[in-house]
Structure 1
């Protein structure tokens, strides 16, 4: 009797005891389904957070200054150091670094914005005209800044949150005059902020101004923060280090050096965190697979007892011990594999419902599906070997006389 015949006999046996087989597979179904669902939820939540935090700045690298450590290692580094002055010419030279796609220089401040009877604190970011194309800022109304805008033009742009906060009852915000720290400014554009609302500091929204204007308003450097965008995410670390070394060389400071920090580092940390949590919770869920395996072994022992006469007859007409062993192993593997497939269907259904009912999409991992079904088949082998071995060792004469 070949493998196909053994498989058909296994299916017939399972079908003839449908309720018993289903109850036996229940542990496998729940175990495989739970593992796939937990991993799918973890992957979906991780992808959602990554999209919210890193979608715009995935290839962005921030260059920040820190004191140069002493060579002898004995002197303590100063907790305060004077920030080097960064010029537009330095930003232009940074673009020549291999792998650098764009360079963005910004500065910041906070101000109180008033319009009519409404008032609120605003985070103000100073930018140049390159900022919008580099970070793919979407202009909703009006226009972005241009090279023609100078520090004498008191202009500003607000994000969609500020538009809703201050101009909800107005048909338009473009051209309106607002008061910021006691001075009038004209709104020239409304933009879609790249930062998700739940991760912003200013609840009233954000504002952009030409960085020369922000420098005059707050007495801050015209370029306080430098970020570069890498051409290739795969070489983002190397590009960041080369850009940091280049900026250190350009500022020529004896006390300060620049280093790079990219979103890729945070993304890796997030992957590690979610991977550990998913593995831990999935491991707990996988315990039900072991429970299901014990149930399979129990029901296969019962099956051997019920089919003792059949085993004796097959051995009497020439079936070898290996054939009997293989038959019951195939039946156990078929039982657990069917449980794994039903668990996959259960997981797919639950994942679909979760995706429809929540804000994130549960992502079913193909490798996890393959591992889950393969593991369920492996459980069939492990827990089926004892019943199969028992069946193969039956004495044909005693088995035929068994009632």
Structure 2
């Protein structure tokens, strides 16, 4: 009997004892499904946490100048190097850098329709700011590079400022505001990117061309420099590479550009998710062990039921290896079928988790292959003892068995 015939005999035996086979496979089905779903939830939670902490508009890596001073120079005045548009263009070409954010800051008193107020945060930006930070414009238009290059006296306000100062107005776009005694035209309103619970001011925020902020407050045109990495899982690596590249580009000898190290945060997220997945997954794996024991038990029963069949086959010339292979194939077939059914159940479970919870369960093809392979492995491990018992039966004793 070749392998294909042994496989057909195994399927026939499973089919002839459907209820028993299903009950035997139940532990394997539940175990494989549970392991795949738990790993999928773990992968989904990891991705969600990574996205929340490090991705999209939140994966900003700030670059800052760090002077190199000797002990004799610690009290001496040092000046941060001036950054230019050429430096920003170079930084944008560094591998892994998705966008470059160059901003400056200001603040001032407002006069809007004879109503006085304060603007605690005025951020100077360029045209790339809104795309890089994924900030949505809800009215009017965003600022662009022409506004920055032309020193245009235009501003954008966020939805918080719009609700406070223009709640009674149908459209804030086109309104003229007085900021520190100078008129500015509102060209757009943007959705505030700051969650309500983290807002420290009720006045909202405002952005205007970076060059205008510099002219208005007499500060540098580029005070804060940051990049957005194209891979949220390599924030630290890309940030350090960008800082080193900018330091070399500026040919600095008295200092260097550095970043705040995110590697510890990344490791913490990885550790928490891994520990959760391993802990819960190990519990689910127990059902696989129980299922394997069930397979071994039913295969021992099968050997007992088919003792005369084994004796007849041996009397007709079947070798011990052939008998061993037949029962191993039957055990592997039984557990593999359970594994495949478990994968289907896991797909349904992952879909339900995605629909009913904020986590998107991600089923990895590698985990699916491991599930099937592990199921077959269980069939081999727990099928060896019954198969070995069957192969050792004496033909004469087996034929006499009642």
**Is the structural similarity TM-score above 0.5?**
yes
Name the residue aligned to 1:367.
366
Deviation at 1:243, TM superposition (A): 3.0
- For residues 45-84 of structure 1, the aligned pairs below 5 Å read 45-57=45-57, 61-68=61-68, 84=79
The unaligned stretches of length 5 or more in structure 2 are none
1:107 aligns with 2:107: no
Name the residue aligned to 1:334.
333
1:257 aligns with 2:251: no
Question: 2:50 & 2:37 partners in 1: Cα distance?
Answer: 20
Q: Secondary structure at the match of 1:318?
A: coil
Name the residue aligned to 1:6.
6
Question: 1:3 & 1:77 partners in 2: Cα distance?
Answer: 82
1:126 aligns with 2:127: no
Deviation at 1:105, TM superposition (A): 1.6
The farther-off stretch of 228-237 and 279-288 is: 228-237
The match for 2:138 among 130, 137, 140 is 140
Contact 2:126 2:209 in 1 (8 A): yes
Question: 1:2 & 1:270 partners in 2: Cα distance?
Answer: 52
- For residues 186-205 of structure 1, the aligned pairs below 5 Å read 186-192=185-191, 195=193, 197=195, 201=199
- When normalised by structure 1's length, the TM-score is 0.79
Question: 1:112 & 1:22 partners in 2: Cα distance?
Answer: 76
The farther-off stretch of 41-50 and 223-232 is: 223-232
1:290 aligns with 2:285: no
Question: 2:271 & 2:290 partners in 1: Cα distance?
Answer: 29
CA RMSD of superposed structures (Å):
4.2
1:92 aligns with 2:91: no
- For residues 296-311 of structure 1, the aligned pairs below 5 Å read 296-311=295-310
Q: How many residues align?
A: 393
Question: 2:239 & 2:262 partners in 1: Cα distance?
Answer: 10
Change beyond 3 A, Cα 1:26–1:124: farther
1:243 aligns with 2:245: yes
Question: 1:337 & 1:196 partners in 2: Cα distance?
Answer: 51
Per-residue CA deviations over 1:28-55 (Å, capped at 9, x if unaligned) read 1111111111121122233334444444
Contact 2:310 2:323 in 1 (8 A): yes
Contact 1:61 1:240 in 2 (8 A): no
The farther-off stretch of 370-379 and 204-213 is: 204-213
The farther-off stretch of 294-303 and 197-206 is: 197-206
Q: Secondary structure at the match of 1:30?
A: helix
Change beyond 3 A, Cα 1:45–1:325: same
Deviation at 1:237, TM superposition (A): 5.4
- For residues 133-282 of structure 1, the aligned pairs below 5 Å read 135=133, 137-146=135-144, 147-148=146-147, 155-160=154-159, 163=162, 170-176=169-175, 186-192=185-191, 195=193, 197=195, 201=199, 206-211=205-210, 222-228=221-227, 236=238, 239-246=241-248, 249=251, 254=254, 256-260=255-259, 270-271=269-270, 273-282=272-281
- When normalised by structure 2's length, the TM-score is 0.79
Deviation at 1:337, TM superposition (A): 0.5
Change beyond 3 A, Cα 1:377–1:196: farther
Question: 2:87 & 2:110 partners in 1: Cα distance?
Answer: 36
Change beyond 3 A, Cα 1:188–1:13: same
Question: 1:69 & 1:375 partners in 2: Cα distance?
Answer: 59
Deviation at 1:263, TM superposition (A): 7.3
Q: Secondary structure at the match of 2:56?
A: coil
Question: 2:117 & 2:400 partners in 1: Cα distance?
Answer: 96
Change beyond 3 A, Cα 1:55–1:282: same
Deviation at 1:334, TM superposition (A): 0.7
Question: 1:169 & 1:358 partners in 2: Cα distance?
Answer: 39
